[in-house]
Amino acid sequence: MRPIVFSMAVALLWSSTPFIQMLARPPEPEWRPLFNGRDLDGWQQVGPGSFQVVDHVLQTQGGMGMLWYTREKLGNVTIRVVFKLSGKDADSGVFIRIPEKPLEVWMPINKGYEIEIGDWPDDYSCAGVVYSFSKALARPINPIGNWNSMEITIDGPRTVVFLNGVKVTDYHEGQPVPARKSEGGEPAAGLRQNSGYIGLQNHPGPPVYFREVSIRPLK
């Protein structure tokens, strides 16, 4: 009788213990770095300005241009960037869903999305929003000079952004957006593709620093 009782006890423990059930789940996919910390291998500049690697960190210089990742289009992934601003007017962004290889900077603006990096007063242009498309759900950016971790999930037609562990954006293709402004270079309205190239914006003003750009596929 003892082996039977023991087997029943194990089965009951397995079915009722969340921790043991968690152990049976497949592990989370690992993060894969796109920036190697040494040079711009796999990346290419388009437009004015540049990025430099200084002490294993990407640094924006001038602009307005973009450093884009040339090796693959990305969809159904989470992109993690760790960045910091060096001044009040520091400005950058992570471009996603770029449909084709960019030869100039305006195609990514008008046919992709920019996930804003900056600390501007407008809730449609602060860190973590889809610039000019989504209104910030929160504003958890750290003070100037401190590192921030931003995770951008591209899940089919859905874009979700967490900044420092706080959800800032949950945007679905086709949801209502503010009317486009005729001045200021605001991106064109319209649907974007479910996957595409990504890029980092460089912009005039104080530099923005990136110490990590990594991706992890969705389960």
**Domain region containing 85:** 30-217
SS3 214: strand
Q: What is the pLDDT of residue 219?
A: 85
pTM beyond cutoff 0.95:
no
Domain assignment present for 155: yes
Q: What is the pLDDT of residue 6?
A: 46
Query: 168, 155 in Cβ contact below 8 A?
Result: no
Query: 125, 131 in Cβ contact below 8 A?
Result: yes
| CATH number for 86 | 2.60.120.560
Q: What is the pLDDT of residue 1?
A: 43
Domain assignment present for 206: yes
Name the token pair of 100: 């084709």
Q: Which secondary-structure segment (H or E) carries 53?
A: strand 50-54
Domain assignment present for 134: yes
Domain assignment present for 17: no
Q: What is the pLDDT of residue 28?
A: 72
| pLDDT, mean of each 10-residue run, the chain (219 residues) | 47 49 66 97 97 98 95 98 97 98 96 97 97 97 98 98 98 94 83 97 96 96
Q: What is the pLDDT of residue 81?
A: 98
Q: In the beta sheet, which residues pair with residue 78?
A: 153, 216
